[in-house]
Amino acid sequence: MKDSTIEQGSIDLEIENGIATISFYHPAHNSMPGQLLRELSDVITDVGKTDDILVVVLKSQGDKTFCAGASFDELISIEDQKHGKKFFMGFANVINAMRKCPKFIIGRVQGKAIGGGVGIASATDICYATRNASVKLSELAVGIGPFVVGPAVEHKIGVSAMSQLTINATVFQTAEWAMQKGLYAELYDSTVDMDAAIQLLCQQLVLSNPEAMRMLKKVFWEGTDEWDELLEKRAEKSGKLVLSDFTRNAIEKFKR
């Protein structure tokens, strides 16, 4: 039976003084069902095409969790490989939209980032966080693996750190660990301090040369042109694994 919480949540966009703030929300710890992922990728693509937007801030609502990754309610409702691939393409499309967006994307991570949440944080161009923003790639623990988000995580923190997160799938690494590995640029004791720092950075960037920022964005993501095809293939892998009895049983245990 399809859970009604799959349909809940929102994507909001605010534009002020050349700064676009995109925020996402879902009542289940900011987990991401397919519809929210589609809306998020569309909004990111649209702001990238808007000339009077110079910089983008990506955040979630709430205090405790930045993003809990994939929606378990939707994962357990997947009935065939076609729909499995379609769901995981949601994360693939968000990551590809972020890397293709010609504007710098600043991540604001106020709390825990899990699974796909780590992927979204990794796909930002610079990411600020609080000391509560621990990270975990939990996919292997539910029988899948971070196939779709893996390239973005590896691009940001390297193979060694990514493999540590992948293998230790039940263990949270601290925000300090994540900063040491390069996922976070700065850590703050409070969201107030973090937001002040993000606002200051945005104010500096809106005064910078837009063409130089567009060119730098391409430099940051050199070597990823094949990701459209790569992430689609990765989505197929996850779409197949999510149908296994092992994965379904593991997800049910996590939901209890």
Q: pLDDT tens digits, residue range 36-62?
A: 999 999 999 999 999 999 999 999 999
Digit-coded pLDDT (tens) for 154-200 = 999 999 999 999 999 999 999 999 999 999 999 999 999 999 999 99
SS3 category, 52: coil
Half-sphere exposure for 176 (CA within 13 Å, toward CB): 1
User: What is the model's pLDDT at position 2?
Assistant: 35
Domain of residue 106: give its range.
4-197+204-255
Digit-coded pLDDT (tens) for 134-148 = 999 999 999 999 999
- The domain total for the chain is 1
What is the CATH number for 8?
A: 3.90.226.10
Q: Are 38 and 93 in contact (CB under 8 A)?
A: yes
Q: How far is CA 214 from CA 30, 48, 56, 103, 201, in A?
A: 30, 10, 13, 6, 17
User: What is the model's pLDDT at position 4?
Assistant: 39
Q: For the whole model, what pTM was predicted?
A: 0.94
User: What is the model's pLDDT at position 255?
Assistant: 62
Angstrom distance (rounded) from CA 92 to CA 148: 6
Q: Which residue has the tokens 């837009």?
A: 210
Q: Are 36 and 9 in contact (CB under 8 A)?
A: yes
Digit-coded pLDDT (tens) for 217-231 = 999 999 999 999 999
* Percent of the chain with pLDDT strictly greater than 90: 88
